[in-house]
Structure 1
Amino acid sequence: MTLPLNFPSVASELNVLSVLSLLNFASGYRVPLHKATGRGAFDNIRAFVFGAWISSSTGAGDYFSAKGMEAMTEATVADLMRVTDVIHVERPHEKIHGVTVGELGGPIWEVVQLITKTLKETGEALIKGGYPDLGSFVLEALKEGEKAKKAGQDEAEVALERLVRAIPAFQDMAFVYGQPVYCFKKAMLTLHSVALRFGNSESAIPVPRTSHLPIFADNVIPSLLVHLGVIDLTHADADLALPRLFPEAQNPERLQSLLSAAEPVDPAAAKKEKEVLREGPLLTVEQAFVLRAAAIDACELIVQTAKDLDTSDAAEDLSWLKEITPPEVDAWIWAVAKDRRDYRKLERFALRNTAYF
């Protein structure tokens, strides 16, 4: 999880790493972002974070201090994302026939607004709490977790609670049929990113144990698990229209093809091939949280099944299966969804106007 930037201090790196996790969303805009920039959601967010940090280091103002985040504007975000030319939509003039006018709008403008709102809200929360930046707050939460660990508590759980209670963009939950559904993707991802980056370093950053955390549920893993037949929606809640979301996933021939080994791909030909992504179903909040919760549960079952497997008669050494963790399952599914060509083309559900994933 090392970032390709030259940081003046560990504290500065922790701050940028925390901001990158904070802004790890916009998955519902994957297709329009690809059309507008040629990159997916996370690649656009990462480019924005890197660009903002580099601009800050060259004297343009510290965008990722608490005050800098609180003062963020849509114009600055659009400029740093390099999308100023794709945040307008045209509509007919109300009074003059045949004349069109441009106004701010469209999916990329929504992404710009979400990023701006998230940064401003986070900056306001940090200023209210007396923290100079997000990294300082995360460091304090990690230290509280480390202290709790010495008292026999789960340090990740303690730190997670601090993050979720203080930062609105980390409060990743919704009510479905009156019952709370908690996912906390970005807050847990923040802790796991710290563990990956500083776990083998000699820095003073307290490193939480995160191997027991559940997956960091977004739209990629639930969608892929549906396509691969792990999550079966055929008998899911009809009142939420879940069985109708991915009709092609019920095709047995298609499923067999997806479960087969990937066909070899010529890298040179793959680069020349123009990628055409299909927009997946646009979900309601309730639908999205049900699928995300199902994916969390499914991955827990995958890990437990792997641990319970009898591998004594296997032709190859499969003992490693008993050591896999939910974060590792998360990383593998996410990677194969991006790297395997037929998986990459699969539709993913989208939830718009959310800063949670």
Structure 2
Amino acid sequence: MSSQEPPYPPSGNYVSAVKESSASLCQKAGVKVPPESIDRLLRSPAFKSSFKRVSAVHGLAFPLKFPSIVSELNFLSLLSLLNFASGYRAVLHEQTGRGAWDNIRAFAFSLYISSSTGQGDYLSAAGMRSIGEAKVAELMGVNIQVERPHEGLPGVTIGKLGGPAYELVKLIDMTLKETGKVLQENRYPDLGSFVLEALKSGANSANGHLDSVLEKLVRAIPGFRDMAIVEGQPVYCFKKALFLIHAVKIRFGELSTSPFPIPDTIQSPVFTDNVLPSLLVHLGVIDLSEATQGLSALFPGAGSVERLETLLAAAPEAEDKAKVQKQSPKEGPILSTEQAYILRAAAIYACERITEYARTIDENSLGEDEQWIRGITLPELDMWIWAVAKDRPDYRELKRFALRNTVYF
């Protein structure tokens, strides 16, 4: 990772900083998003046949009974804070049979159930600071020991802490501890209380509700400071903070009476991780052929005419879908921090271009039942890319890049 820490964006310009820094980095790194590739995607059977159905899949319906709306907000906030681990997808599948997001959700459920049954209030600031690596591993159901030869006894192996699962457990424990520390130092009983205050105080901000809440989250909580210096310039992604704000919109925005002010997220940048850019490369939207930092060689064959004919066609028969979902995913290319930020910025930039292009499509070139394409929004597009990557067996087999030792995605 770059040793330089970028400055915070100017107050009131957090959302624009995400969009502008991503576009600037793509230009400098030689990443392209050709208009003809966008048009090809939007008019493809794969997109048109699945968008409305798949973009509604958000994974934020919880089989839990919350004693209050504030309790649910706290759970949602903690889940968003821990929404990373994509670099450990393969090992998590091997140990638990689930991917990164499903493991983090299951872990958050375990935290909630343990807290509600009196086993430890891990959803509070104090509980976050005290949980420890052993408890994290227990609640996640992962093995954090690796077998190694005994130094003095030939043929004997012993278990020692180590391996990628232990690496992930340490990241989760560290994130919980540092967040709990910040909350306690500022006299918040839990993360939800801080988020609630941010939502309320940002409602009357001259800088806009979304921008104000985003700034408060990023400045206060280290786990939301998803930014770096790459190619000599700042890049801001803020994936988890933006995800949290949109999750609040999804969970509470449809209530008849809003329990607190909720930002409008229709112009929110996408919540960029490893799935969005990887899939957009495979679907031929992001062109890495002239990219720097060795990116052009990461996805051999991606974007070829032969591959796109299959991937942009309507989904194949789903008879083997359940079988494919149970298979351990293939490990994709392991990236450096700089490479990952460029690709994640590319997804932000590409999705901006896709929604802008969609609005310019001549309505006469679309059928009556296809006019909705001209109005797709960034959050809808984000949800479609993320969900369709799981929805189709052939998409699930596409390699995604991985970055280890990060708490940002």
TM-score by length of 2: 0.83
> What is the match of residue 336 of structure 1?
388
In 2: Cα distance, 1:227 partner to 1:324 partner: 21
Q: Which has the higher contact order (CA 8 A, sep 6+)?
A: 2
8 Å contact 1:70–1:119 — kept in the other structure?
yes
The alignment partner of 1:317 has SS state of helix
Alpha-carbon offset, residue 313 of structure 1:
4.3
In 2: Cα distance, 1:294 partner to 1:270 partner: 29
Matched, 1:55 2:120: no
Alpha-carbon offset, residue 101 of structure 1:
2.0
The alignment partner of 1:60 has SS state of coil
Q: Once the two structures are superposed, what CA deviation does each residue of 1:57-98 show, in whole Å capped at 9, x if it has no partner?
A: 011121010111011200111111122xx2111222223332
In 2: Cα distance, 1:79 partner to 1:175 partner: 36
Describe the shift of the 1:333–1:272 C-alpha distance in structure 2 as closer, same or farther (beyond 3 A): closer
Alpha-carbon offset, residue 247 of structure 1:
1.1
Superposition pairs for residues 1-357 of structure 1, below 5 Å?
1-83=60-142, 86-148=143-205, 151=206, 153-201=207-255, 202-237=257-292, 240-266=293-319, 269-272=320-323, 275-357=327-409
Alpha-carbon offset, residue 272 of structure 1:
4.4
8 Å contact 1:216–1:330 — kept in the other structure?
yes
In 1: Cα distance, 2:258 partner to 2:134 partner: 37
Matched residues, percent identical? 60
After the TM superposition, which of the residue ranges 269-278 and 248-257 deviates more from structure 2? 269-278
Match for 2:266: what amino acid? S
Match for 1:226: what amino acid? V
8 Å contact 2:97–2:328 — kept in the other structure?
no
8 Å contact 1:199–1:207 — kept in the other structure?
yes
Q: Once the two structures are superposed, what CA deviation does each residue of 1:158-208 show, in whole Å capped at 9, x if it has no partner?
A: 010000000000000111122111000000111100011110112422111
The alignment partner of 2:406 has SS state of coil
Aligned residue pairs total 348
After the TM superposition, which of the residue ranges 240-249 and 163-172 deviates more from structure 2? 240-249
8 Å contact 1:10–1:203 — kept in the other structure?
no
In 1: Cα distance, 2:141 partner to 2:157 partner: 24
Alpha-carbon offset, residue 52 of structure 1:
1.0
Alpha-carbon offset, residue 250 of structure 1:
4.8
Alpha-carbon offset, residue 271 of structure 1:
2.9
Structure 1 stretches of at least 4 aligned residues deviating more than 4 Å after TM superposition: none
In 1: Cα distance, 2:363 partner to 2:181 partner: 53
Q: Once the two structures are superposed, what CA deviation does each residue of 1:292-318 show, in whole Å capped at 9, x if it has no partner?
A: 001100000000000111112433233
In 1: Cα distance, 2:134 partner to 2:111 partner: 13
After the TM superposition, which of the residue ranges 176-185 and 211-220 deviates more from structure 2? 176-185
Describe the shift of the 1:47–1:229 C-alpha distance in structure 2 as closer, same or farther (beyond 3 A): same
In 1: Cα distance, 2:281 partner to 2:110 partner: 36
In 1: Cα distance, 2:261 partner to 2:285 partner: 36
Match for 2:153: what amino acid? I
Alpha-carbon offset, residue 252 of structure 1:
2.7
RMSD: 1.3
User: Structure 1: which 5+ runs fail to align?
Assistant: none
Match for 1:346: what amino acid? L
The alignment partner of 1:101 has SS state of strand
Alpha-carbon offset, residue 14 of structure 1:
0.4
Match for 1:97: what amino acid? P
In 1: Cα distance, 2:303 partner to 2:357 partner: 24
In 2: Cα distance, 1:76 partner to 1:211 partner: 38
Alpha-carbon offset, residue 261 of structure 1:
1.4
In 2: Cα distance, 1:276 partner to 1:192 partner: 30
TM-score by length of 1: 0.94
In 2: Cα distance, 1:87 partner to 1:114 partner: 13
In 1: Cα distance, 2:366 partner to 2:377 partner: 21
The alignment partner of 2:310 has SS state of helix
The alignment partner of 2:234 has SS state of strand
